[in-house]
Amino acid sequence: MPGVVINTSVRTGPSVALLNEASQAFFVGLSERGPSDSAGLCTSLEQFENVYGGYQAYSLLHPTVETFFEEGGTQCYIARVVGPAAQKGSLDLDDADGNATIVLTANGAGSWSSNLSAQVVSGTVSGSFAVKIFLSGTQIATTGNCFLREQAVGKINLHATASKYLVASLGADTSAPVAMPAAVALSAGNDDRAAVVDANYVTALALFNDALGSGSVSCPESGSATVYSGLLAHANAYNRIAILHGASNATIANIKSFAQTIIANETNLEHGALYYPWVYAPTAVNGVNRLIPPDGYVAAARSKTVNGTGSHVPFAGAVSEAAFIVGVVTDIDRTNGNALDEECVNAIRVINNTIRVYGARSLSQDTTNFRYITSQDTINGVVTLAYRALEPVVFSAIDGRGTVFANIESRLISVLEGFRIAGALFEAFGTNGQRIDYGYTVKCDAKLNPTSELANGRIRAKVGVRVSGVGDRIEVEIVKSSLTASVTA
- 3-state secondary structure at position 9: coil
What is the tens place of the pLDDT at every residue in 203-247? 999 999 999 999 999 999 999 999 999 999 999 999 999 999 999
**pLDDT of res. 19:** 62
User: How many CB atoms lie under 10 A from the CB of residue 403?
Assistant: 12
Task: For residues 237 and 60, give the distance between their C-alpha atoms in angstroms, rounded to a whole number.
Answer: 26
Domain at 90-185, CATH from 1.20.120.1200, 2.60.40.4290, 3.30.470.10, 3.30.420.40: 2.60.40.4290
Annotation: CATH topology of 21-82+195-368: Rossmann fold (3.40.50)
Of 4-18, 72-86, 341-355, where does mean pLDDT reach its minimum?
4-18
pLDDT bracket for residue 456 (50, 70, 90):
confident
Residues β-bridged to residue 355:
350
pLDDT at residue number 417: 93
Show me where the domains of the chain are located: 21-82+195-368, 90-185, 395-489
pLDDT at 216: 97
Rounded Cα distance, 216 and 207, in Å: 14
Is it the case that residue 323 has pLDDT exceeding 50?
Answer: yes
Q: How far apart are CA 63 and CA 52, in angstroms?
A: 12
Residue (of 27, 80, 57) closest to 295 by Cα position: 27
Q: Is the pLDDT of residue 303 over 90?
A: yes
In the predicted model, is pLDDT for residue 296 greater than 90?
yes
Evaluate if residue 93 carries a pLDDT over 90.
Answer: yes
Residue type, 48: F
The rounded distance, in Å, linking the Cα atoms of 205 and 431 is 49
Element (H, E) at 235: helix 225-238
pLDDT of residue 4: 53
Confidence (pLDDT) at 489: 59
Which pLDDT belongs to residue 11? 40
Could you tell me what percent of the chain has a pLDDT over 90?
A: 76
pLDDT (average), residues 118-128? 95
The answer to whether 134 touches 216, Cβ cutoff 8 Å, is: no
Q: Which amino acid is at 409?
A: E
What 3-state class would DSSP assign to 40? strand
